[in-house]
Structure formats: structure tokens, C-alpha cells
């Protein structure tokens, strides 16, 4: 083993122990550390609340799915499936992939578990990691998180409007400002073929000016050319025939009624004839949400649309559906940009200090007893020094400090130090839970009274100022 020899030689030169290799997270994937979590926690709480308010049941589905599910659902010729999917063969020979999005999985589960027999629409919500082998960029990861809502079994445009309403409420709750809603209808099986022919002949006449990708997809999937971000293509597409001008009667009525619903709930939208969302399953409504930062750069927060053919495409009876999904990484970034307050963890008001080995043992038990009684406690059991522990208690503004020293450990008592009054007393350990709760309650009442007095004082001062301002303006 030549490697080992080389290692030994090196070992002679540097007498220190050779360190093992350190690992990094895989490219495009990252850790979300504790200091970041309050934003995620807030986001999850807001999304959960909306799911409850609108009666969406949570569903979790595997990260690993049959590769063909997305080839057939999302579409074989889409970038997501064609270029960005993590796919591999298992030991057993199954062709699987890491889920690149949620909707096909939700529909698979809907069919697999016979949800088609439930009262419609069947409303489901999910959240979790998705995987796309995309070029990693700032704020864009190969493992990213999405939440989504799907309603299966109802074709009325009121559900499309409700999806948009839910998304809008989520953005509002997260205090994300300047969110723009882009909206379009891309028709159905009835009206799309004739529109596609019209678009193909328009694009064929300008084929030279299109990018390589668009030249290829022109005949197979002309709608995707509308979606192309290459500047050459956006110029050509600007004058192309628009889907909304070639909708069949049914699609037209559907889109008009969606716009009426949105007007009714006062949601502002802007019609975007080039918006197609680029996935195979979309029909009729498609929409996207964007937020603008101070420099005017737009970033997508999420989007969705109607998929009236997807259940049929995946082997079920033709059933309409509509849904939307949002990128949680993007939303967390938008929360920070908008200085949204993250979720704040409750801070313990009691600190438990200990001195000596037998006291340490007792404190573990007292900690649990107080915790079980619903009292949050802070500690630093690893420290033996009383002074550092008391400093820690001061740092978190503890109202009560409990101290167990060697003597207290012996006669099963605890010193209770009230940080508000400064007084302290020794009492039997069995009385401590009751006493701590009593004092915390008293403090809470006191704090409430002080806050009330403060608010009243401020109110009085404000009205005084207002009166003074009024007098001043009258004099003028
Ligand atoms: Zn149609
Ligand atoms: Zn293009």
C-alpha cells in the first residue's frame, strides 16, 4: 500500500497527528443554520395557517419518485425534466429521480389512494425540498424548498381566484411589499391546436432570428418559444399572435370570470400574453408572482395554474385541477429584504444555577419538574462556577434565579432569588414549582399593569400635543 508508506514518511516530518479529510456540502446545496431558522419558522407558520383557514389537508410524499411520472406529467421536453432532473437506476433496476416539483406527485398520490371518490375538490398542501440540477446562482440552489397547494376536481374559476387570494395573503402576512401578479390564459385541448398552428407559421417565418433551443422546439412545443428568455426570441415574440385572442368559448368565459372574481376581491393583476409557464400540463389559467427590490430587479416568488388534463395524463379519469407553488428560499430572502420580523422564540424567565456534583444531579431533576409544569428554564450545566452562571442569568434578564449549592443538595432545598425585588430565600425543593409559578404570575400581572400605565401616559401626551397643535393652527 504505497499510500500508507507516504503517510508514514510525512508523519516523520511533521510529528502531529494527521487530520482526516473535512467535508463540504455538495455543490448547489446548503445547510440552513439555527440563526436562519426563525425566518423559516415564521414562513412555515404563515403557510400552515392559510392551509387550515382554507381547509387544505397536508400531504407528504417521497423525495424519490418514478422518473416517468415527471416525463409524462411535467413533460419530457421541458428543461426541468430534460436537463435538470437528478435521475438514476436503483440496485433493483428501477428508474427513479429526485422530485423536481410537487404537482405530479400529488396527483399520483390522489390516484394511488383512491381520493377520486372523496368529496370534490380534494384540497391538498405540501412543503419540502425539490431537486434540480441547475446552474447554482445567488439565491438559487439545486436543493430548494417549495410549498404548494393543489385543488383537484373543480373547474370553476373561483378556485383559480382562491389560489391567487391564498398566495396574496401569504405575501401580505410575510410583509413582502411590491408583489406583482402576472396572468394569462393559454387555452385548452379544444382551442390550443389551431392557435399552435398559427404560432408555428408566424415563428417559422422568423426562424432565423430565434435561438438554437427555440429552433428545435418550434414545431414540437411552440408555446415554449413565448417563454424563452433569450433577447433575440423575446423580440420576435413581442408581435406574435396572443393566446387570449384565440380562446374557445369555454376558455374565454372561464378567463373572464376569473378576472371578475379578482376584481371582486380587489387583487391587481397585469395581463401577460407571453406567460405560458412552460410545463406540459397547464391549461387555461397560468399566473406568476414577482417582487421588485429597490434596484428594480424582479425575482419570481412562485406561480401556478390550471391543469385540467394532468389527472387523465397520469392514468385517471379526466378531472380538472388547479394549484400553485412558491419557492421558500426566495420568500425567506424577500422577508429579509423587507425587514420582516422573524419568528421569536420565547425566552425563559427562570435560570437554574448549581454548585458541586451532587447539586448538579439534583438540578437535572428540578429542571424536568419545572419544565413539565410548563415553566421554561435556562441553564448552563456544563459550568461549575457560580459567578459565570449568575452573569448568564443577568444576560437573559431572568426574573427568578434558582440556586442549588452543596448544602441545598444535602437537605433537598433550593435558594430562590427574586431578581425584581432582590430578595432571596431558601425553601424545600418540593415547594419550588408552586412558588416559581406564583411569582411568575405576579410578575406578569405587574408587567401588564406597568405597560397599561405607560400606554395611557403616552396616549395623554399625544392628545395634549394634538390639542396644542390645534391651538397653534387656530392662532394662525
Ligand atoms: Zn379552450
Ligand atoms: Zn429562444
How far, in Å, from the CA of 246 to the mean position of ligand 1?
Answer: 8
* Cα distance between residue 121 and residue 26, in whole Å: 40
Cβ neighbours of residue 213 under 8 Å, at least 6 residues apart? 228, 230
Same domain flag for 386 and 413:
yes
Cell triple for 183? 396572468
The mean pLDDT value for 401-430 works out to 92
Burial of 202 (0-12, 13-18, 19+ CB in 10 A): middle
Same domain flag for 94 and 120:
yes
* Cα distance between residue 440 and residue 427, in whole Å: 17
How far, in Å, from the CA of 320 to the mean position of ligand 1?
Answer: 13
In a domain, 97, yes or no: yes
What is the domain count for the chain?
2
**What is the pLDDT at residue 168?**
98
Same domain flag for 303 and 402:
no
Write out the residue range of the structural domain in which residue 71 sits.
Answer: 37-191+247-337
Q: pLDDT tens across 161-176, in order?
A: 999 999 999 999 999 9
Question: Does pLDDT of 288 surpass 90?
Answer: yes
> Would you tell me the crossing angle of helices 328-337 and 37-53 to the nearest 10 degrees?
110
Average pLDDT of the residues of the chain:
92
In a domain, 454, yes or no: no
**What is the pLDDT at residue 4?**
47
CATH of residue 428's domain is 3.40.50.800
How far, in Å, from the CA of 184 to the mean position of ligand 1?
Answer: 13
In a domain, 232, yes or no: no
Cell triple for 427? 425553601
Same domain flag for 313 and 412:
no
**What is the pLDDT at residue 475?**
66
Instruction: With CA atoms as reference, report the closest residue to 379 among 410, 355, 343, 406.
Output: 355
Residue ending a domain, among 307, 337, 367, is 337
In a domain, 344, yes or no: no
Same domain flag for 302 and 366:
no
In a domain, 49, yes or no: yes
Question: Does pLDDT of 42 surpass 90?
Answer: yes
**What is the pLDDT at residue 172?**
97
How far, in Å, from the CA of 305 to the mean position of ligand 2?
Answer: 23
In a domain, 374, yes or no: yes
How far, in Å, from the CA of 288 to the mean position of ligand 2?
Answer: 20
Same domain flag for 322 and 429:
no
Residue ending a domain, among 312, 337, 362, is 337
Same domain flag for 86 and 163:
yes
How far, in Å, from the CA of 191 to the mean position of ligand 1?
Answer: 4
In a domain, 178, yes or no: yes
Q: pLDDT tens across 340-375, in order?
A: 999 988 889 999 999 988 898 899 999 999 999 999
* Cα distance between residue 215 and residue 315, in whole Å: 32
How far, in Å, from the CA of 265 to the mean position of ligand 2?
Answer: 37
How far, in Å, from the CA of 28 to the mean position of ligand 1?
Answer: 40
Q: Looking at the CA of 283, name the nearest ligand.
A: 1
How far, in Å, from the CA of 75 to the mean position of ligand 2?
Answer: 18
Residue ending a domain, among 337, 363, 398, is 337
* Cα distance between residue 426 and residue 235, in whole Å: 82
Walk across the sheet containing 413-418 and list its strands: 377-379, 350-354, 400-404, 413-418, 424-428
How far, in Å, from the CA of 115 to the mean position of ligand 1?
Answer: 27
The DSSP result for 222-241, as a single string, is THHHHH---HHHHHHHTTSP
Same domain flag for 158 and 53:
yes
Neighbours of ion ligand 1 (CB under 5 A): 187-188, 190-191, 248, 251
How far, in Å, from the CA of 230 to the mean position of ligand 1?
Answer: 29
Q: Looking at the CA of 210, name the nearest ligand.
A: 2
How far, in Å, from the CA of 77 to the mean position of ligand 1?
Answer: 23
**What is the pLDDT at residue 227?**
86
Same domain flag for 270 and 411:
no
Same domain flag for 267 and 359:
no
How far, in Å, from the CA of 276 to the mean position of ligand 1?
Answer: 15
Q: Looking at the CA of 217, name the nearest ligand.
A: 2
The mean pLDDT value for 259-288 works out to 95
Same domain flag for 312 and 393:
no
397547464: which residue's cell? 282
CATH of residue 91's domain is 3.30.930.10
How far, in Å, from the CA of 78 to the mean position of ligand 2?
Answer: 13
pTM of this prediction? 0.85
Same domain flag for 288 and 398:
no
Burial per residue of 214-232, b for 16 or more beta-carbon CB atoms within 10 angstroms, e otherwise: beebbeebbbbbbbbeeee
How far, in Å, from the CA of 285 to the mean position of ligand 2?
Answer: 23
Question: Does pLDDT of 271 surpass 70?
Answer: yes
How far, in Å, from the CA of 239 to the mean position of ligand 2?
Answer: 15
Other beta carbons within 10 Å of 351: 25
* Cα distance between residue 251 and residue 283, in whole Å: 9
Question: Does pLDDT of 472 surpass 80?
Answer: no
Beta strand 57-58 pairing with 122-131: parallel
In a domain, 15, yes or no: no
How far, in Å, from the CA of 221 to the mean position of ligand 2?
Answer: 12
How far, in Å, from the CA of 84 to the mean position of ligand 2?
Answer: 18
Question: Does pLDDT of 11 surpass 80?
Answer: no
CA distance to 444, 449, 450, 467, 468, per residue, from 461 (Å) = 26, 18, 17, 10, 10
Q: Give the model's confidence band at 185: pLDDT under 50 very low, under 70 low, under 90 confident, else very high.
A: very high
Amino acid at each position: 500500500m504505497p499510500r500508507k508508506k507516504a503517510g508514514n514518511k510525512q508523519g516523520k516530518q511533521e510529528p502531529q497527528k494527521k487530520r482526516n479529510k473535512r467535508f463540504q456540502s455538495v455543490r448547489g446545496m446548503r445547510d440552513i443554520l439555527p440563526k436562519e431558522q426563525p425566518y423559516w419558522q415564521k414562513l412555515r407558520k404563515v403557510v400552515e395557517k392559510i392551509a387550515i383557514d382554507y381547509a387544505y389537508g397536508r400531504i407528504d410524499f417521497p423525495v424519490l419518485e418514478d422518473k416517468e411520472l415527471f416525463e409524462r406529467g411535467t413533460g419530457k421536453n421541458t428543461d426541468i425534466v430534460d436537463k435538470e432532473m437528478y435521475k438514476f437506476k436503483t440496485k433493483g433496476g428501477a428508474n427513479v429521480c429526485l422530485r423536481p416539483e410537487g404537482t405530479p406527485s400529488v396527483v399520483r398520490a390522489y390516484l394511488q389512494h383512491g381520493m377520486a371518490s372523496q368529496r370534490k375538490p380534494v384540497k391538498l398542501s405540501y412543503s419540502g425540498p425539490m431537486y434540480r440540477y441547475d446552474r447554482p446562482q445567488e439565491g438559487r440552489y439545486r436543493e430548494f424548498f417549495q410549498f404548494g397547494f393543489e385543488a383537484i376536481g373543480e373547474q370553476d374559476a373561483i378556485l383559480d381566484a382562491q389560489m391567487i387570494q391564498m398566495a396574496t395573503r401569504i405575501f401580505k402576512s410575510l410583509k413582502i411589499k411590491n408583489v406583482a401578479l402576472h396572468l394569462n390564459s393559454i387555452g385548452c385541448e379544444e382551442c390550443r391546436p389551431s392557435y399552435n398552428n398559427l404560432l408555428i407559421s408566424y415563428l417559422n417565418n422568423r426562424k432565423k432570428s430565434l435561438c438554437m433551443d427555440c429552433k428545435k422546439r418550434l414545431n414540437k412545443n411552440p408555446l415554449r418559444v413565448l417563454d424563452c428568455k433569450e433577447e433575440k426570441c423575446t423580440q420576435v415574440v413581442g408581435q406574435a399572435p396572443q393566446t387570449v385572442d384565440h380562446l374557445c368559448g369555454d376558455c374565454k368565459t372561464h378567463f373572464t370570470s376569473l378576472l371578475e372574481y379578482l376584481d371582486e376581491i380587489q387583487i391587481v393583476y397585469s395581463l401577460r400574453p407571453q406567460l405560458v409557464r412552460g410545463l406540459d400540463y397547464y391549461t387555461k389559467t397560468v399566473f406568476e408572482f414577482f417582487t421588485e427590490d429597490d434596484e428594480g430587479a424582479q425575482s419570481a416568488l412562485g406561480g401556478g395554474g390550471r391543469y385540467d388534463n394532468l389527472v387523465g395524463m397520469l392514468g385517471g379519469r379526466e378531472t380538472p385541477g388547479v394549484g400553485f407553488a412558491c419557492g421558500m428560499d426566495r420568500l425567506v430572502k424577500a422577508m429579509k429584504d423587507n425587514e420582516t420580523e422573524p419568528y421569536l422564540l420565547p425566552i425563559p424567565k427562570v435560570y437554574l444555577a448549581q454548585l458541586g456534583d451532587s447539586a448538579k444531579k439534583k438540578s437535572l431533576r428540578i429542571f424536568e419538574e419545572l419544565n413539565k409544569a410548563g415553566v421554561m428554564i435556562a441553564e448552563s450545566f456544563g459550568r461549575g462556577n457560580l459567578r459565570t452562571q449568575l452573569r448568564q442569568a443577568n444576560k437573559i434578564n431572568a426574573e427568578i434565579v434558582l440556586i442549588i449549592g452543596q448544602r441545598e443538595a444535602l437537605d433537598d432545598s433550593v435558594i430562590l432569588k427574586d431578581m425584581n425585588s432582590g430578595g432571596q430565600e431558601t425553601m424545600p425543593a418540593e415547594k419550588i414549582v408552586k412558588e416559581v409559578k406564583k411569582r411568575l404570575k405576579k410578575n406578569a400581572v405587574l408587567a401588564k399593569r406597568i405597560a397599561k400605565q405607560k400606554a395611557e401616559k403616552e396616549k395623554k401626551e399625544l392628545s395634549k400635543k394634538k390639542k396644542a397643535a390645534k391651538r397653534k393652527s387656530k392662532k394662525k
